[in-house]
Structure 1
Amino acid sequence: MAENRVTESGLMISRVFDAPRELVFKAWTEPERLAQWWGPKGYELKIAKLDLRPGGMFLGSQRSPEGHVMWGKFVYQEIVAPEKLVFIQSFSDEEGNTIRAPFSGTWPLEVINHLTLTEDLGKTTLTLKGGPYNAADEERVTFEGMRPHVQQGFVGTFDQLDAFLAKT
């Protein structure tokens, strides 16, 4: 039976950016900024919707260099500008309906992410904690097995955020 919880073995990533917290928050919450850095390197993000409010949704598609398109969404749970975002992330179709990940039939349908931003002397520390949400045991096991790859993916995405912030 699925429980409404995050697995204790979720992931946590922390990174310091040489940018003020307000700017880092805007990079996560303004479509024209988010489209310039989110996702794997070489992928193009097209944002169909970004409704920044609790219960609101980000919906977008990523196109790989080979032309493969995947849709995904965030459903915002909590927003405290400019210090906190909590959102449930899922793969989706273009209408925003949650679907299974294209790479695994047992990847969690929902992953919750808690993003916090703290600023010290003009630099922002971003901390991301996340893991399966409303997940079956099999989904939690799949997530745990893929955790090193998920962390590596976030490192690459945060490299792109760092480069974006350096240009801004």
Structure 2
Amino acid sequence: MDNNLSQSFEISITRVFNAPRELVFKAWTELDHFAQWWGPKGVTLQIFKMDARSGGEFLGIQTSPDGNQVMWTKFAYQFAYQEVVEPERVAYIRSFSDEQGNTVRSPFSVSWPLEIMNSISLEDDEGKTVLKLKGCPVNALAEEQEAYRGMAPRLLQDLESIFNRLADYLAFLN
């Protein structure tokens, strides 16, 4: 990560999936796969744009199980994935957005960073895939970095839930 990112607090998580690396990569980069598992348990995802390549864009809306909480999210920096290298790496900046893809403040905190850099690496391990995700705020003020640091345990818990859904989906495909 560049100097601007290395000054920020970073979370990281490693997970092993019982699926080949190529399939895990497709689950992250192909619309039909991604929509099946992304988000915490019970959350649905409707995708409006997904062009998972370097310079591509994503725009989707997540809806809570009760249907009351709707959250637009975009994986973009000026609507662009940072880097996509098949089948080993996906890097993107995630931010909240409106329906047009304009970056907006988080619906849960005015102190939340506008942009979060996420970097995913996929390594082959004898037919299984080791996924490593690192995330950190981008160009964040001190109070935004502190908000991110304070939410780290919750973020990791949410990622575990999301990765559990991915593991179940990959098991279904295998």
Query: Normalization by structure 2: what TM-score?
Result: 0.92
Q: Which position in structure 1 is the counterpart of 2:42?
A: 42
Q: CA RMSD in A?
A: 1.1
CA contact 1:6–1:112 (8 Å) conserved in 2: no
* 1:90-101 mapped onto 2 (5 Å cutoff): 90-101=95-106
Q: Which runs of 4+ in 1 moved over 3 A?
A: none
The offset of 1:69, in angstroms, is 1.1
The offset of 1:8, in angstroms, is 4.7
Could you tell me how far apart the structure 1 residues matched to 2:50 and 2:8 are? 30
CA deviation map 1:83-122 (0-9, x unaligned): 0011000011111111111000000000001100001110
> Partner amino acid for 2:58?
F
CA contact 1:7–1:140 (8 Å) conserved in 2: no
The offset of 1:4, in angstroms, is 3.2
Q: Which position in structure 1 is the counterpart of 2:134?
A: 129
Could you tell me how far apart the structure 2 residues matched to 1:74 and 1:57 are? 7
Sequence identity percentage: 54
Q: Which position in structure 2 is the counterpart of 1:112?
A: 117
> Partner amino acid for 1:72?
T
Could you tell me how far apart the structure 2 residues matched to 1:6 and 1:91 are? 22
Could you tell me how far apart the structure 1 residues matched to 2:157 and 2:14 are? 13
Could you tell me how far apart the structure 1 residues matched to 2:153 and 2:65 are? 23
Could you tell me how far apart the structure 1 residues matched to 2:66 and 2:85 are? 38
Could you tell me how far apart the structure 1 residues matched to 2:7 and 2:127 are? 33
CA contact 2:94–2:115 (8 Å) conserved in 1: yes
Gaps of 5+ in 2: none
Task: Give the SS at the match of 1:98.
Answer: coil
Q: Which position in structure 2 is the counterpart of 1:59?
A: 59
Could you tell me how far apart the structure 1 residues matched to 2:161 and 2:134 are? 16
Q: Which position in structure 2 is the counterpart of 1:25?
A: 25
CA contact 1:39–1:45 (8 Å) conserved in 2: yes
Gaps of 5+ in 1: none
* 1:61-80 mapped onto 2 (5 Å cutoff): 61-67=61-67, 68-75=69-76, 76-80=81-85
Aligned partner of 1:166 among 152, 167, 171: 171
